[in-house]
Structure 1
Amino acid sequence: MGWNFDKTGEVILWGGVSGGVALLLQGLGFSFCSWVFIGCWLLSAAAALQLSCIKVSAAGKAVVVTGCDHGIGHALALHLHQQGFRVFAGCLNDAGEGAARLREQQSDRLIVLPMDVTKQEQLIAAVQEVKLQLPEGEVLWGLVNNAAIMARGYVEWVPLQTYKKMIDVNVLGVLAATKAFLPLIRRARGRVVNMSSVSGVIGTGIMSPYTITKYAVEGLSDCLRQEMRQWGVAVCAVEPSNFNAATQLVTAEGVENQALEMWASMPEVVRSDYGKHHFDRIMRLQRESAQGGEKDLTPVLDALTEALTQRFPRARYRVVDTYYFLKVAAAIHLPEWMFDLLYLPQQTFLSMTSRACNPS
């Protein structure tokens, strides 16, 4: 994997630590602090970067990936297979096009499993199949919790049932798959890699159905990382920005179907206050945004691979461009009012304030 913002942040971190050491020495009366700063920064940053290059071998290791029908999961299954892992690719529809393309590899190291993460019986069957298919001396090294679904809409617009479905797949599905495979991974002292998102770090209006599930995945990752440390199991969260052009997690057709469902189920008072014109405008923007995002999944695949293969993995891998790097930093470090001033469109405040004062 090439240079990225994770490495940039690490270099900046060690620069800050080195600067603190230099200031402390200066306060104690030493006069060579600038050289100490430069030396400490170079040595600490080089050591951190060198440690990130130490990898574990894929030989004798298997990985389970959920959500391999298409998108990131499908691409990751093929990528890990090329890296030498035995891959168990969980597909919601094991008779579908995505599963068929995986089987075209005709490899005994790429096994397609039917896996709906919301169905406990399928997870139990998958665990048994993994045990059966693992050759003697091979271990289940990793689980990549990738399966997820997407919905968008204002909190007042989205039916409660949609939230329940999102939580069922994106949160309880992650938890169920983790609990199913964790005994095997724990004995191998392996890895659990949870596919999160920058939406698990930044709350964005109209994204609440997806965002709350990714915040939950972030919390689960932190808790499980602390619990598994005594077993030598690393737990990582991977946080991509917008790669929808490659994953098609959101499609124009899907947005249109969600819009019809939301408007049909919306209470009359909510319809009246927001108005059909405003609703249609927002949903049109969502349909248009379905064509946006990065088209190349390589940075995401690299981050997931590093999480599985680095000898000293990070707790989080942020796969972001400059815009999202700065936005995440602002969300974490700035007061909320300042973040809103920078990133929340002011016309939204104005239009909605006017609408609230003069409901139709």
Structure 2
Amino acid sequence: MFTGELGRSVFGATVFTFVFALGVPWIGSTIFYILGLNYGCCTSTIAFFATCFLALLIFAVFPRGRLNPKDKAVLITGCDSGFGPLLAKQLHALGMHVFAGCLLKDKGGEGAKHLMKIQSSRFHVLQLDVTNDSEIKMAVQYIGMHIPPNQDGLWGIVNNAGASAFGEIEWSSIDLYKKVAEVNLWGVIRCTQACLPLIRRAKGRVVNMASGFGRMIAGSRSVYGITKWAVEGFSDCLRYEMRRWGVKVSIIEPGNYIAGTSIFTEDGVKKLGDSMWEKMPDNVKEDYGKKLFDLRVAEMQTYCSKGMDDLRPVLNAYEDALLSRIPLIRYQPMEAYWTIRSFVFTHFPSFI
């Protein structure tokens, strides 16, 4: 549930333990008392489940063993910007063979050019558009020819490439839904399927980037959110299927890292907003009005400078998922507010 960073995990454990071991039993006992029922059973029952919950949190915090990263090979998609290039350099520094997939390598993208300056036989920058079957095929063939001879196969794939968008459902065209899903969902499936034969040989890891919005959702984020819910389902199914092969599958569910990754910029939000308004049906424009639309765009622009700018919690979650002897199924590198909100959305009645 947590990234393994002790401070935030202990804080979360303390908050949840206080709420569930003290607050909820007190409320439950009060209700039982009013109803004239045996409220001692309520306290004992909830305290038991709170203890179990705390045990799970402790499991996420304490060390779970670590594998030797030396010469293990990993493919990382989406290395043009954001988490990708930082993770590629972090894993390379550990002694791993890194295949960094970049969308814009062949077009002289700045991210790819920066990574290509790393002079190492263990670092490879690949042209990789996760929506392009032929590029995926060529990348996997290249990886197969460059896996270290002392390794059985590809140790891991990190499906990090992603796209985002915003806009209420009636404002968003089907083409926009398809464009984002092509990267966030079908790209994950394409790359995973292509790499699985190599990963199964190594009994390795699949690490998929989902989102906090894969466990909860907010208005105006359906285009992005549905792809992350789908990645969650795909990853869970893959985890069940890969058990027989010794392959472990983990999901990363970050909080808000817009400020740190610049996945949204004010200019980008404005450009998407202009395109959205232009393609919107006239009756929808009339019903919502330009004033409300502009207000939503302006709100989204304010988010461009918000969120966490320290990307280390996500990078460390990726690393733990690849190299822990007992990786977590889900990692939530997010602020405490979003962790609590995610728990409430996941476990409490839907009307909340």
Q: TM-score, normalised by structure 1?
A: 0.82
Q: Which piece of structure 1 moves more, 91-100 or 170-179? A: 91-100
Change (3 A) 1:49 1:168: closer
Q: Which of the numbers 66, 69, 73 marks the counterpart of 1:62?
A: 73
Does residue 2 of the first structure (1) align with residue 5 of the second (2)?
yes
Does residue 269 of the first structure (1) align with residue 283 of the second (2)?
yes
TM-fit CA distance, 1:291: 1.4
Between the aligned residues of both structures, percent identity stands at: 42
Letter of the 2:308 counterpart: E
The answer for the alignment partner of 2:234 in structure 1 is: 220
- For 2:71 and 2:148, how far apart are their aligned partners in 1? 9
Q: Which piece of structure 1 moves more, 50-59 or 69-78? A: 50-59
TM-fit CA distance, 1:148: 0.7
- For 2:188 and 2:149, how far apart are their aligned partners in 1? 28
Change (3 A) 1:206 1:84: same
Does residue 174 of the first structure (1) align with residue 188 of the second (2)?
yes
Q: Deviations over 1:151-190 (max 9, x none)?
A: 1000000111000111111100000000000110111000
Any stretches of 5+ residues in structure 1 without a counterpart? 18-32, 339-360
The answer for the alignment partner of 1:191 in structure 2 is: 205
Q: Which of the numbers 116, 122, 125 marks the counterpart of 2:135?
A: 122
TM-fit CA distance, 1:254: 1.1
The answer for the alignment partner of 2:154 in structure 1 is: 140
TM-fit CA distance, 1:223: 0.3
The answer for the alignment partner of 1:103 in structure 2 is: 116
The answer for the alignment partner of 1:282 in structure 2 is: 296
TM-fit CA distance, 1:8: 6.4
Q: Deviations over 1:49-105 (max 9, x none)?
A: 686330011013010000000101111111111121110000001131111111112
Runs of 4+ in structure 1 over 4 Å off: 4-13, 43-47
3-state SS in 2 of match to 1:118: coil
TM-fit CA distance, 1:133: 1.4
Q: What is the CA RMSD across the aligned residues, in angstroms?
A: 2.4
- For 1:50 and 1:247, how far apart are their aligned partners in 2? 26
3-state SS in 2 of match to 1:52: coil
Change (3 A) 1:62 1:156: same
- For 2:232 and 2:7, how far apart are their aligned partners in 1? 21
Q: Which piece of structure 1 moves more, 135-144 or 46-55? A: 46-55
Change (3 A) 1:232 1:51: farther
The answer for the alignment partner of 2:97 in structure 1 is: 86
Contact 2:213 2:225 in 1 (8 A): yes
Q: Deviations over 1:308-348 (max 9, x none)?
A: 0110011000011111011101101222222xxxxxxxxxx
How many residues matched? 316
- For 2:239 and 2:84, how far apart are their aligned partners in 1? 22
Any stretches of 5+ residues in structure 2 without a counterpart? 22-43
- For 1:231 and 1:6, how far apart are their aligned partners in 2? 32
Q: Deviations over 1:243-297 (max 9, x none)?
A: 1111111111111111111111111111111111110111011111111111110
- For 1:185 and 1:193, how far apart are their aligned partners in 2? 12
